[in-house]
Amino acid sequence: MSYLRTDIIDTNVRISLPAVCFVWQIAMIILFGVFIRYNYESDTHWVEYMAQQNITSNIENDFYYRYPSFQDVHVMIFVGFGFLMTFLKRYSFGAVGFNFLVAAFGIQWALLMQGWFHSLDYTDGKIKIGIENLINADFCVAGCLIAYGAVLGKVSPVQLLVMTLFGVTLYAVEEFIILSVLHACDAGGSMVIHTFGAYYGLAISWVLYRPNLDQSKRLIGSVYHSDVFAMIGTLFLWMFWPSFNSAIAYHGDGQHRAAINTYLSLASCVLTTVAISSVTQKKGKLDMVHIQNATLAGGVAVGTAAEFLLTCYGSLIVGFCCGIISTFGYLVLTPFMEKSLKIQDTCGIHNLHAIPGFLGGVVGAITAAAATPSAYGEEGLIETFDFTGNFKNRSPNIQGGYQAAGLCVALVFGIGGGILVGLILKLPIWGDPADDACFDDEAYWEVRPE
């Protein structure tokens, strides 16, 4: 009986997975053909542009300001997220492989969706892309990969692709509302990426609740080597997070400060994670789950405020608190949510992204509201919060309110979008694994017997 079901599922994916990949990729080609062009910095007319604008050096091309950060972010998306999820004893192919698939599709769709909202050239109706668009596409996909963490091992690759299609779409809209309409700042995406992504994933997981998931209990948890693999993911995320939070910050002091604040918050976070992990175990032994995950919460929580004058000790305090909260989350909240709220969260994204992301939004709102011209300098204040054009007369106080409003938007889009998409994913056509085939690479991969 069980065999039969598996058989049907396999057949489904054999048709649906290639079909979705092919059709969507062809759609991407057509849409790119109609809409996407190089921008003035990546086009061969750059040399003429330089002459017109009296730019004397190629080094002023945004490529040189942002490409190193882009590559760091790229590593976070593909190696960081991918390997972080390899901790399960028998789902490493799915972790790193589906992460790869989903991200590769997502960045294309994100270039389009974000392009329509942010990079549309109204003179010719084309989206003009450069290095900053690539970074933003990676960011957008990060939201969907966070959501993947909640449903890891329980969904089919087709479901993941559907989740990504809708996730990127929702992301682009909430991002537009938060950054452009509300004119909130969120360089490292505490709200836009982490809060949205985490609640999106948790809501989906809630809708897809599996009461009999303990049928695959034998496959939950790690083995020695899989924990070491996961540390590759942890470390690349941890090390490159300063690049993540500074990648699209303003040139000059903005990028510089964002990197410093993130570096400090993350360092602080490691110590409190270790402290809580040790003190809560009977024999004081550390738990790899905490070290792999909660150490990263400090990076999430300075995502919004990293480019502000958060101060160096302020960054340390944020990391300090997040290490504690996130580790307690793994100890207390994850089991509670599974039992009482029917939310099964494989990777504990609630503790690593949802809470720290929410806190990051709050920290950002407070830091913005507390900004003063004396601290920032007149010009510095205008530049940091982009108080120009329509927003020329906005005060830091008011900005704090808009930051808080942005956080609510992220929450609403995450939860609301997640429930809707969860319902779509509940349709019995996506080839998801049976309860006893969850967390098992055999469901979707050729696994050679040892």
Q: Under rule CB under 8 A, which residues in 101-130 are in contact with a second copy? A: 101, 104-105, 107-108, 129-130
Q: Closer to a second copy at the Cβ: 195 or 384?
A: 384
Pick from 2, 121, 228, 429 the residue near a second copy by CB under 8 A.
228
**DSSP 8-state secondary structure symbol assigned to residue 250:** P
Q: Which is nearer to a second copy, 45 or 217 (CB)?
A: 45
Kindly tell me which of 13 and 198 has the beta carbon lying closer to a second copy. Answer: 13
Shortest Cβ distance from residue 94 to a second copy (Å)?
Answer: 9
d(CA 70, CA 212): 42
Strand order in the sheet with 36-38: 36-38, 126-129, 120-121
Choice between 324 and 398, CB closer to a second copy: 324
| E strand spans, 31-172 | 36-38, 120-121, 126-129
In Å, what is the CA distance from 252 to each residue of 40, 65, 87, 224, 422?
21, 9, 38, 44, 42
**What does the buried/exposed string (b/e) look like for 322-343 if buried means 16 or more CB atoms within 10 Å of the residue's CB?**
bbbbbbbbbbebbeebeeeeeb
Task: Please identify, using beta-carbon distances, which residue of 190 and 255 lies nearer to a second copy.
Answer: 255
Closest separation between CB of residue 388 and a second copy, Å?
A: 13
Q: Which is nearer to a second copy, 271 or 366 (CB)?
A: 271
Reference 262, options 366, 187, 351; nearest CA is 187
| Residue (166 or 320) nearer to a second copy, CB | 320
268-287 positions binding a second copy, by CB under 8 A:
268-272, 274-276, 278-279, 281, 283-287
Stretch that binds a second copy, among 351-359, 373-381, 393-401, 403-411 (CB under 8 A): 373-381
Show contacts with a second copy in window 135-164 (CB under 8 A).
157
Q: Which of 120, 231, 408, 420 binds a second copy (CB under 8 A)?
A: 231
What residues numbered 232-251 form the site for a second copy, per CB under 8 A? 232, 235-236, 238-240, 242-243, 251
Of the candidates 349, 394, 353, 424, the residue with the CA atom closest to the CA atom of residue 165? 424
Beta bridge partners of 120: 127
Q: In whole angstroms, what is the distance from residue 112 CA to residue 33 CA? A: 11
In angstroms, give the least distance from the CB of 197 to a second copy. Answer: 20
Contact 187, 258 (CB under 8 A): yes
Question: Would you count residue 214 as binding a second copy (CB under 8 A)?
Answer: no
Answer for the pair 293, 234: CB distance below 8 angstroms, yes or no: yes
Of residues 30 through 89, those in contact with a second copy by CB under 8 A are 30, 32-33, 36-38, 41-48, 50, 57-65, 67-69, 71-72, 74-75, 78-79, 82-83, 86
Give, as ranges, the residues between 417 and 446 that touch a second copy (CB under 8 A): 444-446
Residues between 297 and 316 with contacts to a second copy, criterion CB under 8 A: 309, 311-313, 316
Q: Please, what's the b/e burial string for 208-244 (b: 16 or more CB within 10 A of its CB; e: otherwise)? A: bebeebeebeebbebeeebbebbbbbbbbbbebbbbb
How far is it, in rounded angstroms, from Cα 294 to Cα 272? 9
Applying CB under 8 A, among 176, 209, 328, 380 the residue interacting with a second copy is: 380
Total residues at interface with a second copy (CB under 8 A): 138
